[in-house]
Amino acid sequence: MSFESPGGINGTVGIFTWANTVTSNWFIPGILLATYIIILVKMMTNQNNTASKAFSAASFMIMIISVLARVMNFVSTGFMSIFIILTALGAVWMHIENTG
């Protein structure tokens, strides 16, 4: 499969837009999912973090980035909503773990 040259790109947003177009809008969601997994695994390796803290922190970080990506029209509203829901679930999990 060949793709036309990106030509006329003036910045990072242009490169991301072109990459997202070439990959049928899977480039930025793929980057966000990979970043989420990396953050989650890295935080779980720290002995001071519980699973709920790692899950909540990773979800929150990617939620912020996905909201920005949504504003720039790189991801769908549904994809962004998934991380908003995961962040809420992580907060509830942390609360239950700390009060139980």
Residue range 6-40, pLDDT digits in tens: 778 888 898 999 999 999 999 999 999 999 999 99
Q: How far apart are the first and last CA of the chain?
A: 55
Which residues are CB-neighbours of 99 under 8 A, at least 6 positions away?
A: none
Nearest to 24 by CA among 10, 3, 38: 3
Looking from the CA of 49 toward its CB, the CA atoms found within 13 Å total 16
Predicted pLDDT of residue 7 = 77
Predicted pLDDT of residue 55 = 97
pTM recorded for the entire structure: 0.89
What mean pLDDT, rounded, does the chain reach?
A: 93
